[in-house]
Structure 1
């Protein structure tokens, strides 16, 4: 982008949740989400910038698929975000748990514990 860049001392913080260099959205306590009027003068829409979730979630998704995201910033000019992903689908494997007969005993609870919503009917020793 050409938004003026990010100072080098702040680059490491950009991937922290809830950290943002964008102006804080104005919160209206009467609504569940802050609203902003679209530049075209149209209806209001929810604000999606400035909460500090964009870059951390982008990196999380990239790493989930065995990739990564890197930021390169020139203070006073702008910032570039490079996303690295595997080129071949055979190299990027989604990590899913194994569900088969031999692994079933690890996932199956023999006795389900009572919770506070449905207490047990009799005391246990």
Structure 2
């Protein structure tokens, strides 16, 4: 006769109230997380170059693109964090790489591969 032995693995979860304290001030001596690091000079230059390559010359249009990535008002690129700057750069390059869309063209018109209908 065999005996089954049930093993119990317990996981201890410690919840710290500080996790939920959204109004807590920053602890002195603690460095900002990666999402809070300010934009670097090389990122500012890369974004400006990407705007030029993409043909986005007007400051208003550049501001619209940057704000669409962070969903908050921006007066300058210097207000971005390093992570946000990466998002802006990715959006500019993605839009520049996208195929130009002919006026009135649908996704069906712009498909890359032939379908079985095209082969008839």
Q: Does TM, normalized by the shorter one, top 0.5? A: no
Higher strand share: 1
* TM-score class normalised by the smaller sequence: under 0.3
- What is the TM-score of this pair, normalised by structure 1? 0.18
- What is the TM-score of this pair, normalised by structure 2? 0.19
Higher helix share: 2
